[in-house]
Amino acid sequence: MGDRYYSTSTAFLEALAEAGIRYMFANLGSDHPGLIEALAQARAEGRRPELPELIVCPHETVALSAAHAYAAVSGEPQAVLVHVDAGTQNLGGAVHNAARGRIPVLIFAGAAPYTMDGELPGSRNEFIHWLQDVRDQRGILRNYTKYDNEIRTGRNVKQLVLRALQIARSAPAGPVYLVGPREVMEEQVEPYTLEPGLYTPVAPMALAPEVTDEIATALARARRPLVITSYLGRNPAAVGELVQLADALAVPVIEASPNHVNFPDTHPMHHGYHWHTAAQNPLLAEADVILVADSDVPWIPAVNRPADDAVIYCIDSDPVKEQLPLWHVPARRFAAADSRVALAQISVFIREHGLAAEELVAARRAENTAIHDAQRAEWATHEQPRDGVITPEYLTACVRDALADKDALLLVETVTNQRAVSEHMRAARPGSMIGSGASSLGWAGGGAIGAKLAAPDRTVVCLVGDGCYLFGVPSAAQWAARRYGAPALTVIYNNRGWRAPKNSTLAVHPDGAAAAADDFNVSFEPAADLPGIAQAAGGAYGVNVSDPAELPQALKDALAAVHDGRSAVVAAHLPGVLARPRWPVQELDEVALRVRDERHPHPWFRCRARRHDRPGPAADGPVVPGVEVGHVERHVPVPVAQRGLTRRAGFAGRLGARPVQQLEPVTVRRVNEHLDAQVQRLDPERKLRHQPEHVAEPRDGRPEVGDRQPDMVQPGPDGAPVSHGRSARPGRTSGMTRSGRTGRARRGSR
The per-residue pLDDT for 676 is 57
Cα 18 versus chain centre, distance: 35
% of the chain with per-residue pLDDT over 70? 77
Q: Are residues 356 and 479 in the same domain?
A: no
The answer to whether position 716 is within a domain reads no
In this structure, what CATH number is given to the domain that contains residue 503? 3.40.50.970
**564 and 694 assigned to the same domain:** no
Residue 595 clears pLDDT 60, i.e. is over it: no
Mean pLDDT of 664-693: 48
726 occurs within a structural domain: no
| 3 state DSSP class of 688 | coil
Q: In what order do the strands lie in the sheet with 661-663?
A: 640-642, 604-609, 591-596, 661-663
Pair 329, 398 in one domain: no
Q: Final residue of a domain: which of 380, 406, 440?
A: 380
Same domain, 213 and 107: no
Domain end point (choices 327, 349, 380): 380
Same-domain check for residues 417 and 513: yes
For residue 698, is the peptide bond before it cis, meaning its omega torsion is within 30 degrees of 0? no
Higher pLDDT, 633 or 239: 239
658-661: long-range contacts (C-beta < 8 A, 24 or more apart)? 658/589, 658/590, 659/589, 660/589, 660/590, 660/591, 660/592, 661/589, 661/591, 661/592
Instruction: Return the bridge partners of 607, or none.
Output: 593, 642
- Closest CA relative to residue 644, chosen from 603, 605, 588: 605
CA distance 713 to 715: 7
272/285 Cα distance (integer angstroms)? 15
The residue-averaged pLDDT of 131-148 equals 97
Alpha helices in 157-225 (DSSP H): 157-169, 182-186, 209-221
25, 67 contact by CB (below 8 A): yes
Instruction: For CA atoms 291, 430, 562, 738, give the dihedral sign.
Output: negative
Helix (H) or strand (E) holding 90: helix 84-90
- Measured at the CA of 171, the angle between CA 178 and CA 426, to 5 degrees, comes to 115
Mean pLDDT lowest among 431-435, 670-674, 746-750: 746-750
Dihedral sign for Cα 35, 37, 41, 46, please: positive
Asked if pLDDT for residue 536 goes beyond 60, the answer is: yes
For residue 535, give Cα distances in angstroms to 310, 450, 516, 543, 736: 54, 20, 40, 10, 10
Looking at the structure, do residues 432 and 515 belong to the same domain, yes or no?
yes
The Cα angle at residue 679 between residues 676 and 681, in degrees rounded to 5: 110
| Per-residue model confidence (pLDDT) at position 3 | 75
- Indicate if 232 and 367 belong to the same structural domain: yes
Q: Are residues 506 and 459 in the same domain?
A: yes
DSSP code for 711: P
Residues 153 and 174 in one domain: yes
Q: Is residue 739 packed enough to be buried (19+ CB in 10 Å), middle (13-18) or exposed (0-12)? A: exposed
The amino acid that residue 257 corresponds to is: S
Q: Is 318 exposed, middle or buried (0-12, 13-18, 19+ CB in 10 A)?
A: middle
Which phi and psi angles does 273 have, rounded to 5°? Answer: -135, 150
Residue 585: inside a domain: no
Pairing of strands 721-723, 713-715: antiparallel
Q: Name the β-bridge partners of 13.
A: none
CB proximity list for 29: less than 8 A, separation 6 or greater = 82, 83, 84, 86, 87, 110
pLDDT, residue 698, reads: 38
Note whether residue 203 is domain-resident.
no
Domain of 481? 392-573
CA nearest to 350, candidates 514, 441, 216, 504: 216
User: What letter does residue 703 receive in the DSSP assignment?
Assistant: P
| 530 shares its domain with 608 | no
Residue 138 near residue 179 (C-beta atoms within 8 A) = yes
Residue 387 belongs to a domain: no
Q: Whole-angstrom Cα distance, residue 242 to residue 262? A: 8
- When pLDDT is averaged across residues 163-191 and rounded to a whole number, the result is 97
Comparing CA positions, the residue from 725, 729, 724 lying closest to residue 744 is 729
Residues 6 or more apart whose CB falls under 8 angstroms from that of 346 comprise: 207, 212, 215, 216, 219, 245
Beta bridge partners, 636, equal 632
Calculate the dihedral angle through the C-alpha atoms of 228, 234, 237, 240, rounding to the nearest 10 degrees: 30
Q: Rounded to whole angstroms, what are the CA distances from 397 to 374, 424, 494?
A: 18, 6, 16
Summarised one tens digit per residue, pLDDT across range 85-130 is 999 999 999 999 999 999 999 999 999 999 999 999 999 999 999 9
- Mean pLDDT, residues 5-10 taken together: 96
8 A C-beta contact, residue 375 and residue 366: no
Residue 663 has pLDDT above 90, yes or no: no
Q: Per-residue pLDDT for 597 more than 90?
A: no
Domains in the chain, number: 4
Give residue-wise pLDDT tens across range 386-430.
Answer: 989 999 999 999 999 999 999 999 999 999 999 999 999 999 999
Q: Which helix (H) or strand (E) holds 379?
A: helix 358-380
Quickly list DSSP for 122-175.
T---STHHHHT--S-SGGGTTTT-SEEEE---GGGHHHHHHHHHHHHHSSSP-E
With the CA atoms of 65, 68, 73 and 77 taken in that order, what torsion angle do they form, in degrees rounded to the nearest 10?
Answer: 140
Residue where one domain finishes, among candidates 544, 573, 602 = 573
**Residue 144 included in any domain:** yes
- pLDDT for the residue 620: 39
CATH of the domain at 280: 3.40.50.1220
Q: What is the distance between the alpha carbons of residues 438 and 413, in angstroms, rounded to a whole number? A: 10
CA distance 156 to 653: 68
Q: Please give the distance of CA 653 from its chain centroid, rounded to a whole number.
A: 33
732 in any annotated domain:
no
pLDDT (tens digit per residue) in 429-470: 999 999 999 999 999 999 999 999 999 999 999 999 999 999
Percent of the chain with pLDDT over 90: 73
CA gyration radius for the chain?
30
User: Is 736 within the bounds of a domain?
Assistant: no
Average predicted confidence (pLDDT) for the chain: 82
Residue 176 pLDDT: 98
- At 709 the pLDDT is 35
CA distance 327 to 321: 7
199-233 pLDDT, tens digit per residue, is 999 999 999 999 999 999 999 999 999 999 999 99
- Model confidence over 349-367: pLDDT tens digits? 999 999 999 999 999 999 9
**Range 153-175 average pLDDT:** 98
Distance CA 374, CA 59 (A): 46
Percent of the chain as helix, strand, coil, to the nearest 5: 35, 20, 45
pLDDT digits (tens, 9 = 90+) for 249-280: 999 999 999 999 999 999 999 999 988 777 89
Same domain, residue pair 514 and 614: no
Give the sign of the dihedral formed by CA 423, CA 427, CA 433, CA 434: positive
Same domain, 308 and 227: yes
